[in-house]
């Protein structure tokens, strides 16, 4: 089950709150800085990461993600360039504008479950 958390406390942490990050995927949970509509590219982007985690396994996904980021950071010496060239991010950005719908079911205040998504099997 994939859960989506809007206005999550994670984005109030001092080293995160002024960042440009709008969301992060941790296992089968998507944490979003603010509430977004179900068809938003940001939510779709994070759902693609959920699919990548299912495909590769969590350990392999996060290990490869970190390795690629560090490798690209050494090459480009720029955080944004390194992040945007991580293969998982390249795929997520390329697919985030898929127009098929995502359906969410409200579980509690700011917490939703993804009940239908063409991006997550």
Total tally of structural domains belonging to the chain: 1
Query: Does residue 115 contact residue 103 with C-beta atoms inside 8 Å?
Result: yes
Residue at 121 is within a domain: no
Q: Per-residue pLDDT averaged across 57-71, rounded?
A: 97
Residue at 9 is within a domain: yes
Residue at 102 is within a domain: yes
Q: Say what the pLDDT of residue 20 is.
A: 81
Does residue 61 surpass a pLDDT of 90? yes
Residue at 76 is within a domain: yes
Residue at 103 is within a domain: yes
Residue at 71 is within a domain: yes
Q: Per-residue pLDDT averaged across 91-107, rounded?
A: 79
Listed residue (45, 55, 1) closest to 25, CA to CA: 45
Q: Per-residue pLDDT averaged across 68-96, rounded?
A: 94
Between CA 99 and CA 9 the distance in angstroms is 29
Classify the C-alpha dihedral 10-2-56-77 as positive or negative: negative
Domain range for 35: 3-116
pTM higher than 0.75: yes
Tokens encoding 67: 């390795």
The share of the chain scoring above pLDDT 90, in percent, equals 40
Tokens encoding 23: 């969301």
Residues 6+ apart with CB under 8 A from 55: none
């Amino acid at each position: 089950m994939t859960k989506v958390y809007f206005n999550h406390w994670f984005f109030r942490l001092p080293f995160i709150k002024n960042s440009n990050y709008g969301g992060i995927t941790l296992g089968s949970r998507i944490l979003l800085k603010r509430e977004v509509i179900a068809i938003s590219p940001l939510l779709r982007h994070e759902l693609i990461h959920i699919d990548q985690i299912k495909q590769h396994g969590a350990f392999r996904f996060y290990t490869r993600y970190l390795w690629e980021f560090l490798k690209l950071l050494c090459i480009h010496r720029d955080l944004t360039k390194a992040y945007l060239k991580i293969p998982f991010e390249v795929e997520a950005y390329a697919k985030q504008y898929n127009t098929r719908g995502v359906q969410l079911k409200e579980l509690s205040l700011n917490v939703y479950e993804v009940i239908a998504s063409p991006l997550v099997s």
